[in-house]
């Protein structure tokens, strides 16, 4: 089955602070000047561009995905505006669902009601680790408990839940990573993404690396 995922990058938007490993402008290839707030008009333009691209298969459906920031950290008004930009394509059968990426501490009943109201079916959470000291060293700004509660609340409300975890974070180890994996698996998310930590120029981790305070994983 070939699934088409149309990416909308909201780099760093909705995030309360910068994680030590993160620089979305470098990751996405967009400069800070280009990282201006995404608008409903730009969302529609991106969708139109992707739908016009030739595809070998068209049997896996189409999703619009908001990546790169914390979608539910945006104001409710902005969330509503961006989601409504996708609504006509869903009503016309051109798009099947919306997925968003966000933080565990930005999940609550009000937010989930808004997401369900606007055809969001998949929510990916940046869990990263289930060790509090690793989260603190990475400047994540949320707790292990918030991660666990967010997964449970999303599942309770019928969302497809993705958990993102990272290997090689400051203060982590192989045994501690395995412990995180087991705890995440016990929460039964629908899927998991595992990202190796990369030292990105411009991130806080680059400074640690150059000061020999951080050693990245080997290949």
For residue 137, what are the contacts with CB-CB under 8 A and spacing of at least 6?
Answer: 20, 169, 170, 171
Least confident of 12-26, 72-86, 90-104, 141-155: 12-26
d(CA 189, CA 168): 22
pLDDT at residue 204, rounded to an integer: 86
**pLDDT tens-digit readout, 127-154:** 999 999 999 988 888 899 999 999 999 9
- pLDDT score of 32 more than 90: no
Domain ranges for the chain: 4-210
pLDDT bin (cut points 50, 70, 90) of residue 1 is: low
- pLDDT score of 191 more than 90: yes
**pLDDT tens-digit readout, 94-105:** 999 999 999 999
In angstroms, the Cα distances linking 150 to 82, 145, 199 are 22, 8, 28
d(CA 23, CA 26): 6
* β-sheet bridge partners, residue 120: 98
**Taking the model in full, what pTM does it have?**
0.87
Contact 81, 40 (CB under 8 A): yes
Instruction: Tell me which range, 17-26, 34-43, 109-118, is most confidently predicted by mean pLDDT.
Output: 109-118
**Mean pLDDT value across the chain:** 89
pLDDT at residue 106, rounded to an integer: 93
pLDDT at residue 89, rounded to an integer: 97
pLDDT at residue 22, rounded to an integer: 73
- Express as a percent the part of the chain with pLDDT over 70: 89
Higher pLDDT, 12 or 217: 217
User: Which CATH architecture best describes the domain 4-210?
Assistant: Alpha-Beta Barrel (3.20)
Residues constituting the chain: 219
């Amino acid at each position: 089955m070939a699934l088409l995922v149309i990416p909308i990058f909201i780099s760093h938007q909705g995030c309360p602070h910068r994680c030590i490993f993160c620089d979305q402008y470098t990751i996405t290839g967009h400069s800070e000047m280009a990282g201006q707030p995404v608008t409903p008009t730009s969302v529609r333009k991106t969708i139109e561009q992707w739908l016009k691209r030739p595809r070998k298969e068209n049997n896996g459906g189409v999703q619009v995905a908001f990546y790169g920031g914390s979608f539910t950290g945006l104001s409710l008004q902005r969330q509503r505006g961006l989601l409504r930009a996708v609504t006509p394509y869903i009503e016309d059968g051109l798009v099947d669902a919306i997925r968003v990426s966000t933080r565990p501490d930005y999940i609550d009943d009000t937010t989930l009601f808004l997401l369900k109201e606007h055809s969001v079916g998949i929510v990916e959470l940046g869990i990263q680790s289930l060790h509090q000291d690793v989260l603190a060293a990475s400047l994540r700004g949320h707790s292990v408990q918030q991660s666990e509660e967010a997964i449970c609340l999303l599942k309770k409300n019928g969302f497809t839940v993705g958990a993102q975890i990272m290997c090689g974070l400051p203060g982590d180890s192989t045994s501690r990573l395995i412990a995180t994996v087991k705890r995440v698996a016990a929460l039964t998310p629908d899927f998991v993404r595992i990202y190796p930590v990369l030292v990105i120029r411009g991130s806080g981790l680059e400074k640690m690396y150059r000061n020999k305070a951080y050693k990245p994983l080997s290949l």
